[in-house]
Amino acid sequence: MSAGIYIHIPFCRSRCSYCDFATDVFRNEETVERYVCALVKEIENFELLNFTRSPQTNLTNFADTIYFGGGTPSLLAPRQLEKLLSAIHRKFSVPSDAEITMEMNPATVSFQSLRAYKNLGVNRASFGAQTFDDAELKRLGRKHTAADVRETIELLRTANFDNVSFDLIAGLPRQTLFDWKRNLDEALKLNPEHLSLYLLEIHEGTPLAAQVESRRQPQPDEDLAGEMYELMVETVAEKGFAQYEISNFSRAGFESKHNSKYWLCEPVFAFGVSAHSFDGAHFRRSNERDTSRYVQSIEKGESPTVETSEVDLKSEFVFLGLRLAKGIDLREYENRFAARLTEEYAEDLSRLAEDRLIELTENNLKLTRKGFLFSNEVFAVFV
């Protein structure tokens, strides 16, 4: 089974109010260089035989996707990206047509840097537009403007990127349905190959959570968020985008191959601070979340892994697979786990079908359009 490789770059120009990822504010080049060197060492020290505790897991060092996430990977200098890719190619078997994605933030790239990334093998760009309203961007703590988003798209096209994705968030504080419609229209005008459209989630411990709690920002309106979700599904479908996952839409052939590995429970080798690896069957490993401690552990010759946990694969196979529009193959479930899902969850499935949250056939289980909107209610059955 082919694996994916995930590389976490934690540095950002500033921290967004809603973000709960492992990120650090960019301070100086020396800090970034030290982190890149630690990443290279972690990759070089990777041993396939030590990756999983289970001898039954069928793993190879063949990896057909590489994903640089963050943070803001586009803060890397091309020479730093080259170091990382060289280390990956020395350690793993990577085909020439591998999908190599780099997350980018608007206003952090130039034509020169994009051309350098492209020449190094990056063939997919994903960046966070979030909204085309400058006032909303400011409230979120984003440093770019709507004009920067448009300029970034233009630079990507000039640099010959033909697989571009960007993110938008619905349900922002004070955002109206009209505002959201305008965001969708602006996004579609830019003609990307892929869109990730999310409903805002407020995570405990973030500045936004504190702002809502203190009433400096309004509590999200769930009914309005539902209307926004319905609007986005209809709007992007009219422009030829297929919804292949709850929050992800693409033109034919441009689905994210790397992200699909998570939903299909395929192995991912992950490197960097807070990176989470999965052997595709039994175990998940997570790295140190603090950047300084991560780097120090690597420099001391110690493992940055802080936790290895056993995965309930039956549960994950269902609730992750149900995120996909095609749902899950019930025959595959039976072959894989020697059990029938329809028998194990007969009463729950009957209730969910009656509520029109799922569509169940002899060989397939998938969410309905209403089920996508209330997916957490469905997933709770299987967790």
Q: Which residue has the higher pLDDT, 33 or 139?
A: 33
Q: Report the CATH fold assignment for 3-262.
A: TIM Barrel (3.20.20)
What local confidence, expressed as pLDDT, does residue 13 receive? 63
Q: What is the pLDDT of residue 209?
A: 53
In three-state secondary structure terms, 220 is coil
pLDDT value, residue 17: 47
Q: CA 319, CA 310: separation in Å to the nearest integer?
A: 17
| Residues 225, 176: Cα–Cα separation, whole Å | 10
Q: So what's the pLDDT on residue 186?
A: 94
Report pLDDT for 28: 76
Rounded to whole angstroms, the Cα distance separating 6 from 101 reads 10
Region of poorest pLDDT, from 25-34, 76-85, 229-238, 359-368: 25-34
Residue 281 has, within 13 A of its CA and on its CB side, a CA count of: 12
User: Per mean pLDDT, which of 139-143, 214-218, 324-328 is the most reliable?
Assistant: 324-328
Virtual CA dihedral for 279, 297, 33, 22, nearest 10 degrees? 60
Highest mean predicted confidence (pLDDT) among 21-35, 76-90, 275-289? 76-90
> Do the Cβ atoms of 136 and 113 come closer than 8 Å?
no
Of 191, 199, 192, 201, nearest in space to 231 by CA: 199
Gap between the Cα atoms of 356 and 62, Å rounded: 41
* CATH 3.20.20.70 domain locations along the chain: 3-262
* Contact (CB, 8 A) for 285 and 311: no
Rounded distance between C-alpha atoms, residue 230 and residue 372, angstroms: 10
* Span(s) in the chain for CATH 1.10.10: 326-382
Q: Which residues of 252-290 are buried (b: 16+ CB within 10 A; e: fewer)?
A: eebbbbbbbbbbebbbbbbbbbbbebbbbbebbbbbbee
Token representation of residue 293: 């401690």
Q: H helices within the chain, ranges in order?
A: 29-44, 48-51, 78-91, 111-119, 134-140, 146-158, 177-189, 207-213, 222-238, 257-263, 291-299, 313-321, 330-337, 341-344, 346-354, 369-373, 375-382
Tally of residues, the chain? 383
19: alpha, beta or left? (left if phi > 0; alpha if psi -120 to 50): beta
CATH class of the region 326-382: mainly alpha
pTM over 0.85: yes
The tens digit of pLDDT for each residue in 247-275 reads 999 999 999 999 999 999 999 999 999 99
Q: Give per-residue pLDDT as tens, 139-179.
A: 777 778 999 999 999 999 999 999 999 899 888 888 899 99
* Alpha carbon distances (Å) from 163 to 38, 118, 192, 310: 30, 11, 7, 36
Could you tell me if 159 and 125 are in contact, meaning their C-beta atoms sit under 8 angstroms apart?
no
Q: Is pLDDT at 42 greater than 80 in this prediction? A: yes
- Which range among 47-51, 121-125, 179-183, 295-299 shows the weakest confidence by mean pLDDT? 47-51
